[in-house]
Amino acid sequence: MDESRYRDKSYLVTYDLTTDIFDGFGVEVIDIIPIRSVYMLYTDKGVKILKRINYPLDELKFINSVVNSIKKDGYDFVVPFMETPNGQYYVKQGEGIYVMLDMIEGREVDFRNVFDIQSAAKALCMLHKSTRGVSDILDTRNNLYKWVDTFKRRIDDLYKFKEIAELHEIKSSFDDIYLSYFDSYFDEARESVKALEDSSYIKLCDEAKENTNICHHDLAYHNILMDSENNIHFVDFDYCIADIRLHDIANLIVKSIKHYRWDIDKALLIIQNYSEIDEITKEELEVLYGFLLFPHDFYEVSRQYYMKTKKWDESDFSSKIGRKAGYYEDRKEFLKNFRLKLI
Amino acid sequence: MDILIEKDDLLYKKIIEEYELNIKYIKYVKESSSLYIDTGKKVFLLENIDDTINHVISTAGIYEHLNNKGFYNLLRIYKTKNGKYYMLYDKKIYILLDYEHHKLDLSKYPDKAIRLLGRFHKKAVGYLPPSGGKCKSNWGKWIEKYIKESKLLKKYMNEVLNKEEKTEFEDIFLSECHMYIDRMDKAIEILKNNNYVQAIEDSMKRHQLCICDFKQSNLYIKDKKIYIKSLDKCKYDIVEKDIADFLEEMLKASPEMKLEELVRLISLYEKENKLSKNSVNIISAFIIYPSSYEKVCSRYYKGKDKWDDKEYISKLNEARLFDNKKMELFICLNYKK
């Protein structure tokens, strides 16, 4: 087996795996298998996932209340943390806090499959509707009203990265690609802020503050599972935040199309199917456009490179930014069509 | 020289513990991490699987599903003493199989093979992975892949057109690329017009599994029966893709076979598993798509291999010949209708 299968092994070694943890959850473990950054456990109570959380306890409490509230309010296809025999939902062991979840039997959705996309979009809408009852939003998990400031800060970062790249006497291939695309992406980032400032963004935040909306905030294909009866399960709420629903919708759109030539039809399909449950309004579409306009991917890989937040090789970085720069034209065409068709 | 394993090796002990084998002779299979095991009574292969555990659990689930449905033309996978189909050791996954050295000359058994494929599809309906298993899918993949590749090849064509100095490969590419791009677009059009999406929906409802590797190298014959060696590449998909891939495999394995004979194999398939009214059109879309040509061209413009221009040209010529043969088969499929 190649090492990439264990690419999160550095995180796995932080697990303090003792039978105390299993006792704490009241399960008898028959077999343990490491998968990515978690363990899959075969237990006397079925197949479980054991996860060591890497955020503070108050955030875990928030996530727990979000998931339980969603389930209570009618969206059944989320996985609550398993209760321990003494009524808790986590076990402390050494320095770590551990949670256990049921393993969902289903397949990961495939963004090439229109049926999967349709189902995921409808389910996302139902999920959002079920988050209305969440109360006590944690400050650190509240992203309402923050988009414009965040984007402005990131625009400053993009400029700083440009200065760093220019300072390099011998430029890396990452620097070269970054500098050659800087002007175009920088303009898009500024346009994005302007589009948001001219939109109903604040009004939508006011409404979301009133009614509460929680975004899953990590809608990768492996966090959206379809079971044998075609129900969509959302898993891993580790990154969930209070925000307007467009944050998730935008993420679902981008994740569904960025590797598949930025196909506008797929974006329309997502909007249409989501709207079948609860309509995305015209003013929401303008805000969505503003969000999509910001070059999130380009910013993220540049931040990881210039702020050294990831320990990848130079060649990994180059190929990453190369890929993102490679779809520049497709993305531009997509944004043009989005504006023409929806705004 | 064979690399043998000593009795005090931890892997050796683990094998004994998990499978309770009385090992007489054990060695690594050349250039792999898999092991050849002889017990004196039987010969096994302990295969090192380079994949995720979820995938291995699913593959074992497929094996069991097929067995339960009465499909036994499979290489046997042995369970450990604890009833598992795999063994973990030193971050590696192993499965124990019969050591199989028989080969199959597909050109001699096209009828048997296509009927086996039909039976496989019929029995592979309704597969759901067991707990902890994950089964991948190709539903929706092909049209998406074709549109993307066609777009990229057109982009490359325009880049070459604008180049002042062209390589020999690029000159050859330009002289014929329009024809192949037309075929790519034709395949996309056929899929769009023939309810490819409907075929996916039907396949999803049935949980239809495909073998995705029904090739000579993954089959063997023993006592006049054809068997499948590995279920490792199985994915959810539409059966038409497996059939089209098989026809292509036959073109390679039996180049002298008449195209009409190949087309006839589809009706033989239907003796085992019924197709829909759009199936032949969907198969023909997969057949007309010049995948070999596209592969060589994209490897060239992505600079994937360290081949020189001469090697690339030779690969391109091979690809053109094969894809042209597929074009003839496409015409034959349409004539048949």
pLDDT in tens, A185-203: 999 999 999 999 999 999 9
Per CB-CB distance under 8 Å, the chain A contacts of B151 are 261
Pick B140's closest partner by Cβ from A33, A108, A114. A114
* C-alpha to C-alpha distance for B337 and B332, rounded to whole angstroms: 9
Query: Same structural domain for residues B225 and B308?
Result: yes
Burial of residue A342 (CB within 10 Å: 0-12, 13-18, 19+) is middle
Per CB-CB distance under 8 Å, the chain A contacts of B53 are 33, 35, 40
| Residue range(s) in chain A whose domain bears CATH number 3.30.200.20 | 3-103
Query: Same structural domain for residues B292 and B159?
Result: yes
Pick A6's closest partner by Cβ from B84, B91, B207. B91
Query: Same structural domain for residues B255 and B199?
Result: yes
Query: Same structural domain for residues B316 and B212?
Result: yes
pLDDT value at residue A10: 65
pLDDT value at residue B141: 93
Q: What angle do CA A327, A332, A333 make, to 5 degrees?
A: 100
pLDDT value at residue A60: 97
Interface test with B, best of A12, A38, A113 (most B CBs within 10 A): A113
CB pair distance less than 8 Å for B50 and A1: yes
CB pair distance less than 8 Å for B140 and A113: yes
Pick A47's closest partner by Cβ from B49, B51, B132. B132
pLDDT value at residue B303: 82
Q: Does B184 reside within a domain?
A: yes
Q: How far is A5 from chain B (nearest CA, A)?
A: 7
Q: Does B27 reside within a domain?
A: yes
CB pair distance less than 8 Å for A105 and B129: yes
pLDDT greater than 60 at residue A59: yes
Query: Same structural domain for residues B74 and B149?
Result: no
Query: Same structural domain for residues B161 and B241?
Result: yes
Per CB-CB distance under 8 Å, the chain A contacts of B132 are 33, 40, 42, 47, 103
CB pair distance less than 8 Å for A35 and B52: yes
Give me the interface pTM, i.e. the ipTM: 0.83
Q: Does B267 reside within a domain?
A: yes
Per-residue pLDDT tens digits for A119-166? 999 999 999 999 998 989 999 999 999 999 999 999 999 999 999 999
Q: How far is A104 from chain B (nearest CA, A)?
A: 8
CB pair distance less than 8 Å for A107 and B52: no
pLDDT greater than 70 at residue A6: no
Confidence of residue A5 (pLDDT cuts 50, 70, 90): very low
> B274 in contact with A at a CB cutoff of 8 Å?
no
pLDDT value at residue A4: 38
Q: Does B304 reside within a domain?
A: yes
- Give mean pLDDT, residues A63-92: 95
pLDDT value at residue B304: 75
pLDDT value at residue A1: 36
Pick A115's closest partner by Cβ from B84, B129, B200. B200
Structurally, chain B folds into a number of domains equal to 2
**Residue B159, number of CB atoms within 10 A of its CB:** 11
pLDDT greater than 60 at residue A7: no
Residue B195 zone, left/alpha/beta (φ > 0; ψ -120 to 50; rest): left
Q: Does B276 reside within a domain?
A: yes
Q: How far is B329 from chain A (nearest CA, A)?
A: 28
For residue B321, give the CATH number of its domain: 3.90.1200.10
> Residues of A numbered 33-52 whose beta carbons fall under 8 angstroms of chain B's beta carbons: which are they?
33, 35, 40, 42, 46-47
Domain edge (last residue) among B77, B101, B125: B101
A3-103 maps to which CATH number?
A: 3.30.200.20
Between A and B, how many CB-CB pairs are < 8 A? 71
For residue B23, give the CATH number of its domain: 3.30.200.20
Interface test with A, best of B148, B151, B201, B232 (most A CBs within 10 A): B148
CB pair distance less than 8 Å for B49 and A1: yes
Below-50 pLDDT ranges, chain B: none
3-state secondary structure chain B: CCCECCCCCHHHHHHHHHHCCCCCEEEECCCCCCEEEECCCCEEEEEEECCCHHHHHHHHHHHHHHHHCCCCCECCEECCCCCCCCEEECCEEEEEEECCCCCCCHHHCHHHHHHHHHHHHHHCCCCCCCCCCCCCECCCHHHHHHHHHHHHHHHHHHHHHCCCCCCHHHHHHHHHHHHHHHHHHHHHHHHHHCCHHHHHHHHHHHCCEECCCCCHHHEEEECCEEEECCCCCCEECCHHHHHHHHHHHHHHHCCCCCHHHHHHHHHHHHCCCCCCCCHHHHHHHHHHCCHHHHHHHHHHHHCCCCCCHHHHHHHHHHHHHHHHHHHHHHHHHHHHC
Query: Same structural domain for residues B305 and B213?
Result: yes
Average pLDDT, chain A: 93
Query: Same structural domain for residues B53 and B159?
Result: no
- Give mean pLDDT, residues A39-49: 93
> A8 in contact with B at a CB cutoff of 8 Å?
no
CB pair distance less than 8 Å for A228 and B128: yes
The chain A residue lying nearest B126, using CA atoms, is A228
Q: Does B281 reside within a domain?
A: yes
Report percent pLDDT > 90 for chain A: 84
Per CB-CB distance under 8 Å, the chain A contacts of B48 are 1
Query: Same structural domain for residues B207 and B283?
Result: yes
> Does the domain formed by A114-342 have CATH 3.40.640.10?
no
The CA-based dihedral angle spanning residues B55, B58, B64, B70, taken in that order and rounded to the nearest 10 degrees: -100
pTM for the structure as a whole = 0.89
Q: Which domain holds residue B41?
A: 10-101
